[in-house]
Amino acid sequence: MEQPNLSYIKSMSGGDKAFEQKLIEIIKLEFPQEKDVYYYNVSQKKHKESAENVHKLKHKISILGLEKSYDIAVAYEENLIEGKTDLKNEFEAILQIMTLYLDQL
C-alpha cells in the first residue's frame, strides 16, 4: 500500500517551513477527531453521517499524497451514500497508515 508523504504540502508551501508546520499541526489536531467520529457513526450504522465523515477525511488523504487511497475514499463515500459498506476494510487500513504516519511527525 502507498505511504503518506509531505510532497503536496511542500509543493503548496513554496518552501515556507512555518506554513508547512502549521498545516501539519492542523492535520494532526483534526484527523484523530474526524476519525473518531467516523468510527462512531460506522459502529452505529449511520451510513449518511459516515459518508460525510469520509468526505472530510478524504481531503486529508489527498493532502498526505495518497492518490490511490483517495480514489478508494471516493468510492467508499459513494457506497455509504447507497447504504453499502464495500471498501470499509480498505478505507480503515488507510486511516491506520495515516495514524501511524502522523504519530511519527
How do residues 24-48 score in pLDDT, each as one tens digit? 999 999 999 999 999 999 999 999 9
pLDDT tens profile 42-89: 999 999 999 999 999 999 999 999 999 999 999 999 999 999 999 999
State how far the Cα of 30 lies from the Cα of 22, in Å rounded to an integer: 12
Query: Which pLDDT score is estimated for 79?
Result: 98
Which residues, in sequence order, are CB contacts of 102 under 8 Å at separation 6+?
4, 27, 28, 31
For the cut 80, the answer to whether the pLDDT of residue 1 exceeds it is no
Extended strands (E) in the chain: none
Give the domains, in start order, of the chain with CATH numbers: 17-104 (1.20.120)
